[in-house]
Amino acid sequence: MDIAVANYGTKSLVWFLGSGNGTFENVGTYGGSFDFSPLVIAVGDFNNDGRSKIVVAYNDIDHVDVLLAQDVGSFSNYMRYWTGPRSYFVA
């Protein structure tokens, strides 16, 4: 199990990898490049390719961004999907 944290104030995400023994390792920060502050995130393998994705929703914004996993603990640049006004939550 891993942990992803949305940092609203710094427009970034922090990713912690689970070690399997109840501890986690901080493997880095993604961001500073978001146009807006992340409000809510969801993590999953949405297209069944065996790699995690992070969906990021923002406050009062009309899109979500999806980050695709690359190597362990790293993600690609985001892909943007337009959702309509005020996409507050993702599941």
Percentage above 70 pLDDT, the chain: 95
Per-chain mean pLDDT for the chain? 84
Q: Quick one: average pLDDT of 68-77? A: 74
Query: Where residue 23 falls among pLDDT bands split at 50, 70, 90?
Result: very high
**Count helices and strands in the chain by DSSP H and E runs:** 0, 7
pLDDT of 55 reads 92
Percentage above 90 pLDDT, the chain: 16
The reply to whether the predicted model has a pTM over 0.85 is no
pLDDT of 32 reads 65
Task: List CB contacts of 4: < 8 A, sequence separation 6 or more.
Answer: 13, 14, 15, 16, 41, 43, 54
Tens of pLDDT, residue by residue over 33-50, are 677 888 899 988 888 988
